[in-house]
Amino acid sequence: MNPDSGGGAAGSVYMSLTLTNTGDADCTLNGFAGVSLTADPTGEPIGAPASRDESSPSAEVLLAPGQSGAATLRYTQAGNYPDCQPVDAAGYRIYPPGDTGSIFIEQPTSACANAAISILNIGAFAAS
């Protein structure tokens, strides 16, 4: 899974989260990843988890070995919110759809300790 900067607007950065089937059998992705910012690779989430962008419906994505699916993650700059209570985050904790195991992506950024403010938004996975 790799976040790739994909541009930004009005204090937002869009990234592509990519999951690749590294197994030897087909697998499916269906829905949304769980995404949170954390202080370190094993730390608790900081602030609110990513809200879901349901403007595009989720659909089952069949991945043969070596194929990938991607979802768009939007990060809104923590400094945009006066009540944010900014804190340093070491990166993103990602839970693939339907999975209880997580992946940590190191990418230092600012998070909002105030859980009433959602600075992350995730779209549904699609074939890439």
- Range with the lowest mean pLDDT among 4-18, 39-53, 60-74? 4-18
Evaluate if residue 89 carries a pLDDT over 90.
yes
As a whole number of angstroms, the distance between CA 56 and CA 10 comes to: 22
Considering the chain, what percentage of its residues have pLDDT values greater than 90?
Answer: 82
Q: pTM for the full model?
A: 0.88
Top-level class of domain 3-127: mainly beta
Domain ranges of the chain: 3-127
Average pLDDT over residues 73-99: 94
pLDDT 10s digits, 20-61? 999 999 999 999 999 999 999 998 999 999 999 999 888 899
Q: What is the mean pLDDT of the chain?
A: 90
- For residues 56-76, average pLDDT: 93
